[in-house]
Amino acid sequence: MADTNLMPIPGHIDPVPLPRADVVEGVTPRDDGRIDLIGLPRPRIAELFEAAGLDRKQAKLRAKQVFHWLYHRGVTDFAEMTDIAKAMRPWLAERFAVGRPAIVEAQHSVDGTRKWLLQTADGHDYEMVFIPDADRGTLCVSSQVGCTLNCRFCHTGTMRLVRNLTAGEIVGQVMLARDALGEWPNGAASQAPTIVLRADDDEEDEGSYTSDGRLLTNIVMMGMGEPLYNFDNVRDALKLVMDGDGLALSKRRITLSTSGIVPQMAKCGEEIGVNLAVSLHAVTKEVRDEIVPINRKYGIEELLQACADYPGASNARRITFEYVMLKDKNDRDEDARELVRLLKHYKLPAKVNLIPFNPWPGTQYECSTPERIRRFSEIIFEGGISAPVRTPRGRDIDAACGQLKTAAEKKSRAEVDRLFAEKEAALA
Ligand code: SAH
Ligand code: SF4
């Protein structure tokens, strides 16, 4: 294996050594030695142009032009960048590239959900999912290949962490989705009918991206991996997504989901500023310790306090609490009541997302019955907190976020137990 060279990941607060993701800082590795510009901020592109021989002023100007072509127009070929001198285009193409993640497989569900199995240049598989609704289109993006954590109901939790995705591989998922949906100017979507937004959608406060006629309107960091354990790359990628000269999507349309990495949460609010979703899943120490083992390190009280302190949270921008419905584990009436009590105690501007458990081979859990889920939801609503049940989407193609299983072979129960035990030992 080529990637046994270990280095600490920036922003990763646990001292877990991880395989090297990149050779030039921030750059997605490529076999042909050219530098992939996707994922790099404009000043970095200018620096690289200067290092390749352009004078400073030229480098800055070219970086601005190229950046516009990359993120506004979706162009991947320097030859198409018509405002750049003809002679300079091949010069750029010799040294630089505009990459996209490689597609291993693309699947389309009967309900419109689409899933892509992608591959990094060094051969690791990861997935992204697109979920269209009447009023929005949500892209579920991965942050890591695998996950260091070991939530017991999560299929990714059985996989070892292979490596963090680079900023380019993260923003590359959004670029690829836009390619596939034909959403660049002059693409198919520019002729698509206008999508009417729900009345409760917040107005955009920055960027020029509107959802009129767009299919991809929202992004959730809910694919493979724990985004707050790949903080710097996730931040850099989301900055490009939010940049008014970049993909220009409002931070109000982006949600980052975390299992509860408390020390990184305030930083997430301050430096990224997107909506927060927290994978709570249980209201007692005993149950959360079992199903979300990071709880042993950052407990429920500490986590909820960090949510109360989350910069930018308000009644207009509530924090989403995800709660996976596991039969006879976390689904009693008293759990629902305790959930309401906790959210009120910490005065959290909260909404709860009830997720029917999506089973996978080898899991020890079952999904709660529909009646149980309905009752659980009612109790929370009666407590004055919104608690919709998330409808499973794309089940025919196994497309649920957080449960991306194409990349892994089917495992037996014993094997799954062994993998969790191994991870537990590594994290202890
Ligand atoms: N690591 C982050 C984001 C990825 S998981 C986190 O844990 O929040 C995205 C969501 O899917 C999380 O709420 C996760 O708990 C949930 N999830 C994982 N496996 C699931 C399954 N089998 N069924 C239903 N939801 C699942
Ligand atoms: Fe990792 Fe999230 Fe799955 Fe937990 S639920 S194992 S944090 S991907």
Per-residue pLDDT of 18-27, as tens digits, reads 444 444 566 7
pLDDT at 40: 96
For the entire predicted model, the pTM comes to 0.88
Q: What's the pLDDT at 347?
A: 96
Give the model's confidence band at 398: pLDDT under 50 very low, under 70 low, under 90 confident, else very high: confident
Residues 261, 225: contact at Cβ < 8 Å? no
Residues of the chain with pLDDT > 70: what percent? 84
How many CA atoms are closer than 13 Å to the CA of 145, on its beta-carbon side?
A: 22
- Tokens 């530098």 sit on residue: 35
Q: In 192-261, which ranges are continuous DSSP H helix? A: 231-242
Interatomic CA distance for residues 321 and 350, integer angstroms: 7
Bridge partners (DSSP) listed for residue 18? 7
Substitution candidate for ligand 2 out of 279, 303, 404, 423 with most atoms within 8 A of CB: 279
Q: What angle do CA 328, 329, 330 make, to 5 degrees?
A: 110
Strand order in 254-258's β-sheet? 102-108, 114-119, 125-132, 137-140, 218-221, 254-258, 275-279, 319-325, 350-356
Distance 158 CA to ligand 2 centre (A): 9
**Residue 281 region, left (φ>0) first, then alpha (ψ -120 to 50), else beta?**
left
- Residues 356 and 326: beta-carbon distance below 8 Å: no
Q: What is the mean pLDDT of residues 89-118?
A: 94
The binding-site residues of ligand 1, defined as CB within 6 angstroms of any ligand atom, are 151, 153-155, 222, 226, 257-259, 279, 322, 324, 355, 357-358, 400-403
Ligand 2 centroid to residue 156 C-alpha, Å = 6
Give the number of the ligand closest to the Cα of residue 405: 1
In angstroms, what is the span from residue 183 Cα to ligand 1's centroid?
28
Can you state the percent helix, strand and coil of the chain, rounding each to 5? Answer: 35, 15, 50
Burial class (CB in 10 A: 0-12, 13-18, 19+), 203: exposed
pLDDT digits (tens, 9 = 90+) for 308-333: 999 988 888 999 999 999 999 999 99
pLDDT of residue 24: 59
- Tokens representing 19? 């395989």
